[in-house]
Structure formats: C-alpha cells, structure tokens
A and B are shown apart, each in its own frame.
Chain A
Amino acid sequence: MPACLGTTFRTGGGTEMQVSASWNRRLAIVAAAYLVVMAGSLADLSGPAAAQQSPTSSERIWTSLKGDVFGDRPILADTGLVRIEAPKRAQDAAVVPVDVYIDPAKAPDGVKSVTMIIDVNPSPVAATFQIGKEAGVTHLSTRVRVDDYSYLRAIAETQGGELHMSQTFVKASGGCSAPAVKNTDEALASMGRMKLRQFAPAAGETAGNAPELQLMIRHPNNSGLQRDPLTQYFIPAHFIQNFSISQGDRLILAMEGGISISEDPNFRFDFAPGAGSEIRVEATDTEGKVFRDQWPLEAAGL
C-alpha cells in the first residue's frame, strides 16, 4: 500500500493550474497523515477485528487527519446548517450515493464550500466543493467509493469562515462488490464525454423548489492502486481533479477531488439561474487533459 500511495498523489503534468498543484500538496499531506494513522491502528489492533473498521476506529482516523485538512480551526457539529445523507449499508462499494443539504435559514450569508470526507478511504478527502456566491446551491448529490465501514462527513464553511459538520456512518457493502471500475475498457474508450441534464423545479411547494443541474463526466477516476499485469509497474492514479460549472461569468459550483469520487463522476445540485447565458463546464484530470463543454440553459421550466 504505501508504495502505491506515492504514485496516487503525484502531481500531474506541468500544465496544471496553480490551484491543482496546491490541492495535490494538500492531498499528499492528508495521505501521509492517513498512513501514519493506519500504521497506528494496525499496530494496536490484533486478531480478526483488525480487518474491519468501526465507528470508533473511523473516529480515531478522523481525529488524526482533521488537523491536516482544517488546521486547528473549531468544527461545530450537528448545528443543522449542513446535513449529510447516505444509505446505512453501501450496496455497491464503487457507487454509494451521498446527499448534502445546506439550510439557507442557518447560513444567511451563504456557504462558501463543502468538504466531503470518507475517513477510512486511502484518499479520505473525497472532494471540496466551492459554491458560487448567490449560486443558490442548497442540495448536492454525488456518488463515492466506500472501502470499509466508515463515517462520511460533510464540513461546510460559511462565508464568515465558520466550519459546520454533519456525519453519517456507512457500513461497507457485503460480498464481492469492490470499489473498482466495472468496465475499464468502456470507461477509457469514452473518457471525457460529458452530459448535462437540466431539471425544472419540482411541482408544488417543495422546499427550495429550484431547478436542478446534473453534470456527468465519463472517466474511470482510477485509484492507481493496481499493477499493470504485463509490466508489473503500478498504474498511476488517473482521476478528475477539478471541474467548474458556470453560467456566463458566474460560478455555480467548482470541485477539487480525488479517487474517492466514483467512476464517471456525477453531480446533481439545485441552483438559482441567472438571465440568459449558457452553462459552461471545464474539467481537468491528473494527466492534464482538459475537458470542456457547454449547453444552452433550457428555457422550458427554468
């Protein structure tokens, strides 16, 4: 494991944007911290239990890594400002749906970013989402890989700089569903293809009642924790490390992420549409490939 983590968090090509480079450094720090914690938990656990994580061991990993992600800033728990939901048991370890809700009433100035953490994963910081000012994002769904029993956490940062956390415990999937790419040939063949779905506001007086966007990016989002069967070299991690989605010059949502996001990264969120302009997406992967696309804002229902 340690040997391959080095390649997982290597920086990509020299053409990367500055933000990506700093993100990679941050991931590297978190990964290093995680290794220390893992070594610790392996050392102080023995016997059959060592194989499986628990709420206690997940919490211990979190305690050790949170300083590397958030420094010594206080993190307020269960204030209701942010709420994370996931199935109690992961059905498919490679595709675990996660929903994050922000309560606008509790964050009158808005939320600047949401960081998603999966304590026990090799790359615990799944993603950080930056929310555009007045973008109106109050609900965000994505899909993640969950390697073992783990807390999933959402930490929201308000415009004022407060950190609020919500967490939910997910049991790993039973049986043979592994957090790996199912159809690697297909994933590589159609890599970079993007799809944007637009949903009109739900009928009736539902909370929020805003239109939604769903961004889908074809990509293996590969962990790199595997060897090439012919060369025996570790295949470098290959994943979407960031994307931004905007309307005109207005940022709606941006992400910096890693291998804990499922293959074919998929994000659905509500938003407050502005007038006119089309929706533009730009995404970059660890090989420095840039994927761009744009779609007209659908008038119908928006």
Chain B
Amino acid sequence: MRTDLFRRRLVTGFACIGAGAAMPCCLPHQALAANHQNFALSEIADGVFAFRGKNELMTPGNEGAICNLGLVVGDEAAAVIDSGGSLVQARAFIAAISEVTPKPVRFLINTHMHPDHIFGNAAFRDIGATVIGHKNLPRALEARGAFYLRNYRSQLGEALMEGIEIVPPAQLVADRAEFDLGGRVLHLRAWKAAHTDNDLTVYDAATGTLFTGDLVFMEHLPTLDGSLLGWIRQMDALAAIDAQRVVPGHGPIAADWPEALEAQRRYFEVLAGDIRQAITEGRPLAETVKTAGRSEASNWALFDEYNERNATAAYAELEWE
C-alpha cells in the first residue's frame, strides 16, 4: 500500500509524520479524524468511523463519493462497510483507515449491489479483505455488472473507471451472521427485497451503531430498485432494532433512531397512495409517473433525478396488488 502518496493531516492539528505510522489511541474519539482531499473519516462512536457522501449523482468531480461508508475497529481487526464509488475513493479510504488504526481490514461488507457502494471493492480485496454480502448479491451483480461498467463509463469518465471491477462477495449471508473483530462482534442481517433484493445491515453491539446501507435514506431521495411493498413491510422490523444511532446509506452519518426512518416512510406513503389511486382510475404508467409523489419534491435532494424512476418501478409493482 503506497500510503506515502496521500497527504496526511489530522483535524485536531496533530501532525502525523512518517508513512505507515500507527495513530496514537489516546485521542478523544470525537476529535479523531482523517482527511484526504475530500475524504474525511469521522469517529462517531468509540472505534466506529464514518465517511459522509455527497447528495449528488456520481460524477468525475466527486470521484463517485456519494454514499456513506463505515469502519469498525476491534482488538484484532477492522471491518469496512461499503467500498465507495471508485478505486480513487477506495484508496483514499484505505489511506484514511491507516491513519486511525494499524489493524488489518479483515472484512469488507457490501450493504447491496449499487455502484456507489461497490465500485471500490477491488482495492479492499487487494489488501486482503474478505468481501461479505447478501446471498442474492452475486446473482444481482451477474445480472447488472456489465451494464454498470458500461453505463458508468460515460457518467464517471474513463479515468475514474480505470481498473474498476465487479468483485462479488466471497462470503454470503442468508439470514443472520456474526463477525468477530476481536472483543467486538458485528451482527449482519440479510433482508427480503426492499431497496434492492440484496440489502444487508450491520450492527455494532458494542456501541449500538446500526449501518443500514440504503435501507435508510435521509435528505437524498430514496431510490427504489427492489420492492416498495417489501421495503414498507420491513420498516417496522428495522425500526425495532435497538440502536443508539444509525448511519444511513445517504445523509447524515449519525442520526437518531428510529426517527431517521420518518421522512422516507412519509415519502413511500405519498408515492404509493398517488399510484394506487391512478391504478384504480385506470391511468396508465407513462402518465402517472409524471405526477405521482410530486408533493414531496421540496423535502428531498435529487428529487427530480429519481422520483419518476421510483414511480415507474412502484407502479409496475403495485399494479399486482
């Protein structure tokens, strides 16, 4: 790993000199953070770090860094939650990790199939991490991987796409699984189709921190690529998880739980309500998607980018009710 390539800096003002130096562990955790250009890793609980993605589409300008990423450090090893939207971002992430812990990254947990969460996988595989995912993730990536690699070439640009591979998980979670980082156990849970059909959550019992992946969106409009009904149906079970704080897939990196679910719950109700009414009235899909959910526009970032698409998927699903 060529950490010397990255400028090292601490927001606390401590200088970190020398490549590969381990960070002192005596810093108060709220203050410990690592920056690499636009990659800032914040410690949100003891040994739990998160990167906040921008509420944007993936572009060359943001290097694909649009979703939240996580790091949990145990006594023996660390686990990373999602790898980011490009190898450039993933490498910056790895550099930032080396500033906060000398422990090896033993696991990369993919919360689901989307490119902003998995395009950095190869960088973590290359430092020896085992990739973990939902049992449906390999199938989903087989069906989409080639499309993602082609489609994002125009969106992210050739330079950022260079070297990006679809790296499927080596270890699968069918229902629940636990991964021990040494004195710290991560609880993984596979969900039925919701945001996608391969959503996985990660719960750090030591601090009560829940990484939801894109099962929870805040600020950024939720995107539907699985099952709206499944998502709505499972939201109570999600809310029942006894968490102190949540790291949603998009939005603030530490939010109150389960209050974090409220905005998306309301959006889904409005969207489903509008579409059900249109279906009852016999209004066709093409016409319905132009207006369904519109009253939620001012509550979300990227509403115009994703709402019609959500409405399209939701209409096709709700028509079978």
Partners in one complex: yes
Tell me how far the C-beta of B194 lies from the nearest C-beta in chain A, rounded to whole angstroms.
10
Report whether A174 and B226 are in contact in the complex, using a CB–CB cutoff of 8 Å. Answer: no
The residues in A between 160 and 181 inclusive whose CB is less than 8 angstroms from any CB of B are: 172-181
A225–B143 alpha-carbon span in the complex (Å):
7
Q: Which chain B residue has the least Cβ–Cβ distance from A202?
A: B282
Report whether B143 and A92 are in contact in the complex, using a CB–CB cutoff of 8 Å. Answer: no
Q: Which chain B residue has the least Cβ–Cβ distance from A175?
A: B57
A268 contacts the other chain (CB 8 A): yes
What is the interface size of chain A, counting residues whose CB is below 8 A from a CB of the partner?
Answer: 48
A218 contacts the other chain (CB 8 A): yes
Q: Which chain A residue has the least Cβ–Cβ distance from B57?
A: A175
**Chain B 125-153, CB within 8 Å of chain A: the 1/0 string?**
00000000000101110111011101101
Report whether A174 and B193 are in contact in the complex, using a CB–CB cutoff of 8 Å. Answer: no
A206 contacts the other chain (CB 8 A): no
Report whether A175 and B286 are in contact in the complex, using a CB–CB cutoff of 8 Å. Answer: no
Q: Which residues on B sit within 8 Å (CB–CB) of A148?
A: 150-151
A108 contacts the other chain (CB 8 A): no
Of the candidates A48, A177, A178, A185, the one whose C-beta lies within 8 Å of that of B154 is: A48
Tell me how far the C-beta of A112 lies from the nearest C-beta in chain B, rounded to whole angstroms.
25
**Chain A 215-233, CB within 8 Å of chain B: the 1/0 string?**
0101000010111110000
The residues in B between 276 and 321 inclusive whose CB is less than 8 angstroms from any CB of A are: 282, 284-286, 289, 305, 308-309, 311-313, 316-317, 319-320
Tell me how far the C-beta of B159 lies from the nearest C-beta in chain A, rounded to whole angstroms.
10
Q: Which residues on A sit within 8 Å (CB–CB) of B147?
A: 93, 147, 178-180
- Of A51, A181, A183, most buried by chain B (CB within 10 Å of CB) is A183
- Of B57, B138, B147, most buried by chain A (CB within 10 Å of CB) is B147
Q: Which residues on B sit within 8 Å (CB–CB) of A181?
A: 143
Q: Which residues on B sit within 8 Å (CB–CB) of A178?
A: 143-144, 147-148, 151
Contact A183 to B144, CB < 8 A, known contacts A48-B157, A91-B308, A174-B155: no
Report whether B227 and A176 are in contact in the complex, using a CB–CB cutoff of 8 Å. Answer: no
Contact A91 to B309, CB < 8 A, known contacts A184-B139, A216-B320: yes
A interface secondary structure, majority: loop
Q: Which residues on A sit within 8 Å (CB–CB) of B104?
A: none
Q: Which chain B residue has the least Cβ–Cβ distance from A235?
A: B142
Of the candidates B140, B154, B158, B286, the one whose C-beta lies within 8 Å of that of A141 is: B286
Report whether B114 and A141 are in contact in the complex, using a CB–CB cutoff of 8 Å. Answer: no
B115 contacts the other chain (CB 8 A): yes
A16 contacts the other chain (CB 8 A): no
A52 contacts the other chain (CB 8 A): yes
Report whether A176 and B286 are in contact in the complex, using a CB–CB cutoff of 8 Å. Answer: no
Report whether B139 and A229 are in contact in the complex, using a CB–CB cutoff of 8 Å. Answer: yes
Contact A184 to B197, CB < 8 A, known contacts A92-B313, A175-B155: yes
Report whether A173 and B309 are in contact in the complex, using a CB–CB cutoff of 8 Å. Answer: yes
Contact A226 to B142, CB < 8 A, known contacts A52-B154, A92-B312: yes
A-B contact pairs, 23 of them (CB 8 A): A92-B312, A92-B313, A97-B285, A141-B285, A143-B285, A143-B316, A147-B147, A173-B309, A175-B58, A175-B305, A176-B116, A180-B147, A181-B143, A183-B193, A183-B227, A183-B317, A185-B136, A185-B197, A195-B320, A225-B146, A228-B139, A229-B168, A264-B320
